[in-house]
Amino acid sequence: MKDQHSSGQNGTDVTVIGLGPMGSALAEAFLGNGRSLTVWNRTPGKADALVAKGANRTTTVAEAVAASPVTIMCLNDYTTMYRVLDSAGGAFEGRTLVNLNSGTPAQARAAADWAAERDLDYLDGAIMVPPPLVGHPESVFLYGGPRDVFDQNRATLALLGDPRYLGADPGLAVLFNTALLAMMYATLNGFLHGAALVGSADVPAVEFAELALGWFMPVVLAPASLAEQAPNLDEGVYPGDLGTMEMNLNALEHIARTSVEQGVQSDLPRLMKELAEQAIALGHGAENYFAMFEVFKKSAAETGGSR
């Protein structure tokens, strides 16, 4: 039985399923923009604050999906999505599901097939900001799936942030998300390892950060400089006139040796050195370090690396 705030079949603009920190932030953004909202969560009490602000709560997923033309889903993973939505039955017909779960491209494509079997329009998305930034115009959300489905729901999605359409492949959003997270963790690990290296000589992290983030990153690894190299990655052109992979291997060997000498964890620099050795073995020794792109495009079996 629905509570007194539930609209059931009367209809609302949008439904949100899953009210963890991120799902609640999505729901708040819709309410804050004056949209009528239906919510459902496995633990009903998580909807109390939203109901107090005007959201409609249903007791079943079927009622939640039926209440709105578009449902935004924010659960832990695709397995949970199937478990939750399998109880919705025919409530899907003619509606749109925007799935903001995390997972892999293969899982996203399988979910799109699952939705098609149920006459359910489907977009797979990825949220690129933490919950407090949901609803800000500059906050990036990524989407993959049919263009017409995206266009029909763009105004609704824009209430959450900046909706970026990546293409018809429903796996593109989680693929981009994974790629960006990989870049984030690699950058964080590089900074933390560098701070540990100088810290082994009792240099405060604050002092290292001043040089690393105040000069090195903005100058040596400036986004504009990396963007200039992107066309070369697409073309496979890596001129070594200003530095070769062999020269970089020498530097990487010094990083690995210094880490060992200073008693700092050395797995990361050893891995970077091994990757440079693979690049040289593949014939990229006279090219610049961006030729490492050719190594990353191949599997471990193709490069001779370990799995």
Predicted confidence (pLDDT) per residue in 69-102, tens digit: 999 999 999 999 999 998 888 888 889 999 999 8
Surface-to-core class of residue 227, CB atoms within 10 Å of its CB (0-12 exposed, 13-18 middle, 19+ buried): exposed
Kindly compute the dihedral angle of the four CA atoms of residues 57, 61, 63, 69, in this order, to the nearest 10 degrees: 100
Q: Are 49 and 25 in contact (CB under 8 A)?
A: no
One fold for 8-168 and 176-303: no
Alpha-carbon torsion (256, 265, 304, 226), positive or negative:
negative
Q: Is 100 in contact with 76 (CB distance < 8 Å)?
A: no
For the whole model, what pTM was predicted?
0.89
Buried b or exposed e, range 200-224, using 16+ CB within 10 angstroms: eeeeeeeebeeebeeeebeeeeeee
CATH code at 8-168: 3.40.50.720
pLDDT of residue 8: 40
State pLDDT tens for residues 171-201. 999 999 999 999 999 999 999 999 999 999 9
Question: Which residue carries 């690699």 as its tokens?
Answer: 186
Query: What is the C-alpha to C-alpha distance for residues 199 and 290, in angstroms, rounded to an integer?
Result: 29
Q: Which of 112, 118, 193, 195 is nearest to 146 (CA)?
A: 112
Each residue of 141-168: pLDDT tens digit? 999 999 999 999 999 999 999 999 999 9
pLDDT at 1: 29
CATH 1.10.1040.10: does it fit domain 176-303?
Answer: yes
> pLDDT tens digits, residue range 197-252?
999 999 999 999 999 999 998 988 899 999 999 999 999 999 999 999 999 999 99
Q: Is the pLDDT of residue 14 over 50?
A: yes
- Where do the structural domains in the chain lie, given as residue ranges? 8-168, 176-303
**Nearest one of 180, 81, 99 to 145, comparing CA atoms:** 99
Q: What is the mean pLDDT of the chain?
A: 93
Q: Does the structure show a pLDDT above 80 at 306? A: no
pLDDT value for 276: 97
Asked if pLDDT for residue 116 goes beyond 50, the answer is yes
Contact (CB, 8 A) for 124 and 108: yes
